[in-house]
Amino acid sequence: MLTTTQKLTLKNWFLWAILASTALAACTLLGFSPLFAGITAGSLALNKVLPFFGNLENWALALSVFSAALLTSSIAVSGFIFIANIISRAQDKREPSIAESLSSYRHLNLIESNERWLANTVKKLSKQTGIKINHVYYQDMFAKFKPSKILNLNISTDLIHQTLSTIQALKKAIGPNLGAALTFKYGNIITVRSTVFHGKKKLTRKEIIASLAHEFGHIAHYDSFKKGFHISLYSITMILGVCSLSPLGIGLAIAAYFTWHSLQQNKELLADAYSTQFAPAEDLISFFKKSEKFEEKDNQRLKRKSSTGFFSDWSRTHPTDKKRIQILEEIRKENKRKPGCK
């Protein structure tokens, strides 16, 4: 009998295989084939005007086809790397959100008790997991927001009030969220938002530890690297599929779209499962219950419908809180059935 974590791992490999297959099919049927046919035709035409091959004509034809295949694959791989690099750079240069532009990133202030506790907790988890964290950054939300600067602007009073009320609404709209874990050439980095301590829906220290363990899971699974590779496969399929204007191409693009998003959701569930090795599942469940309640109240406040349904569920990079709670409950039951657990 497979455990929930094992099932998620198998699903991850299955989705990866589907995504790779769609990219390979798109490249072969929509990218490689036309290019290969063109180069082969040119090679064969060249052979016809070179009569001095004599008895070696068949060998020359075979060599031409082989050269055409080699040149095609070289162009295709170069194009793949080039497009993936452009996509990666475009993502890095995306416009920051209002909340991000008004926030500042800094190292932890060890004089402050909460941040000192956070640094010690990261060190403890680092020893437990065997994962070295090179930097921990504190995202001070809205630290750059100074009401006095807006009041001194040469704009109408109505616009000043509208701007201030918009910023206040944004502050209330940011729910409990730890941050992110990334792996760069500079090492492993964890970013923690100030809202975990000072947000409208504060988190307990147990919930923060469980959330940090989740972020360690992303690093342990090399998710930063995998996401870049997955985006490359997804983008190549989407570009070739849509540009082909053919039913096959459109079908491959749709398959890649849903597979990529499902893969990202599964990645989050695997990180949740990883966290239960170092923190009780109950603590992360408690975190997601708070997040779920916050989203419900936020939807009511903004008179916004909850984003549920087939397309919505398959088009998000993170699974719903309800789904994550369900998976964690299954893992908790499995852990209780293990020998030595009460």
Judge whether residue 201 has pLDDT over 80: no
Q: At what angle do helices 205-220 and 223-244 cross, to 10 degrees?
A: 60
What pLDDT is attached to residue 43?
55
Lowest mean pLDDT among 50-54, 64-68, 311-315: 50-54
When pLDDT is cut at 50, 70 and 90, the band that residue 23 belongs to is confident
- CA atoms of 260 and 203, how far apart (whole Å): 31
CB 275 within 8 A of CB 265: no
C-alpha dihedral sign at 306, 288, 293, 120:
negative
Report the pLDDT value the prediction gives residue 167, as an integer from 0 to 100.
Answer: 66
Higher-pLDDT residue of 238, 156: 238
User: Which helix (H) or strand (E) covers residue 243, if one does?
Assistant: helix 223-244
186 pLDDT tier (thresholds 50, 70, 90):
low
Mean pLDDT within 28-32 = 65
Say yes or no to pLDDT of 309 above 90: no
177: confidence class by pLDDT, cuts 50, 70, 90: low
* Residue range 267-279: mean pLDDT, rounded: 93
Mean pLDDT, residues 57-68: 61
The average pLDDT across 35-61 equals 55
Which helix (H) or strand (E) covers residue 2, if one does?
Answer: none
Q: How confident is the model at residue 276 (pLDDT cuts 50, 70, 90)?
A: very high
Residue 225 has pLDDT above 90, yes or no: no
At 128 the pLDDT is 93
Q: pLDDT, tens digit, for every residue of 128-171?
A: 999 998 888 887 766 666 666 666 666 667 776 776 676 666 66
How many Å apart are CA 120 and CA 136, to the nearest integer? 11
**pLDDT over 90 percentage in the chain:** 21
Looking only at the bridges linking them, the beta strands covering 135-140 and 187-193 are parallel
Query: What is d(CA 176, CA 174) in angstroms, rounded to the nearest whole number?
Result: 7
* Residue 190: other Cβ atoms inside 10 A: 24
- CB burial readout 208-222, b (16+ within 10 A) else e: bbbbbbbbbbbbbbe
| Predicted pLDDT of residue 125 | 93
Look at 283 and 97; give whichever has higher pLDDT: 283
Looking at residue 329, what is its pLDDT? 94
Q: How many beta carbons lie within 10 A of that of residue 188, not counting itself?
A: 21
Return the pLDDT at 270: 94
pLDDT grade for 302, boundaries at 50, 70 and 90: low
With a cut of 60, say whether residue 89 has pLDDT above it. no
Cα–Cα distances in angstroms (integers) from residue 70 to residues 64, 76, 137, 323, in the given order: 10, 10, 47, 47
- The pLDDT assigned to 308 comes to 58
CA–CA separation, 68 vs 62, rounded Å?
Answer: 10
CB 129 within 8 A of CB 168: no
Mean pLDDT over 204-221 rounds to 91
Sheet of 187-193: strand order equals 104-107, 135-140, 187-193, 179-184
CA 131 to chain centre: 20
C-alpha 300/C-alpha 174 separation (Å) is 15
Q: Rounded distance, CA 232 to CA 80, Å? A: 8
